[in-house]
Amino acid sequence: MKKIAKKATKKTTRVAGKKADAIKVEKGIPMPTKKDFQARASKYPFRTMAKGDSFALPYIKKIVSAVAAAATRAKRLGVGTFKVKKMGSTLRCWRIA
């Protein structure tokens, strides 16, 4: 049996089309604060809702995950806790805490 010799190849790490060695490392750049990430406004009225308030949207399958994700983000930011449910042809979101 013959052994097949493998050709050694050097792999180069690439990031966004550039060699990793070509990326400039910078020092002393401050990280954004949590407030910098909160600048984006929500499409939905989570901040203006009181406990027990709700809003309704027409039920579209794509919107369900978008509203649920926005409600989860609002909870993470300390706005409140929300519940999203389908009711017939309507999608409703309640503030529960």
Q: Is 66 within a domain? A: yes
Q: Is 26 within a domain? A: no
Q: Is 45 within a domain? A: no
pTM of the model: 0.59
Q: Is 82 within a domain? A: yes
**pLDDT tens, 13-52?**
666 666 767 788 899 998 877 766 665 678 999 999 999 9
* Domain hosting residue 83, numbered range: 53-97
Are the C-beta atoms of residues 68 and 37 closer than 8 Å to each other? no
- Nearest of 62, 42, 46 to residue 54 by alpha carbon: 46
For the chain, the average pLDDT equals 84
Q: What is the pLDDT of residue 39?
A: 55
Q: What is the pLDDT of residue 12?
A: 57
Q: What is the pLDDT of residue 69?
A: 95
- Nearest of 89, 88, 49, 94 to residue 68 by alpha carbon: 94
Q: Is 19 within a domain? A: no
Q: What is the pLDDT of residue 66?
A: 95
Q: What is the pLDDT of residue 36?
A: 65
Q: How far apart are CA 86 and CA 24, in angstroms?
A: 50
Q: Is 27 within a domain? A: no
Q: Is 72 within a domain? A: yes
Q: Is 84 within a domain? A: yes
Tally of domains within the chain: 1
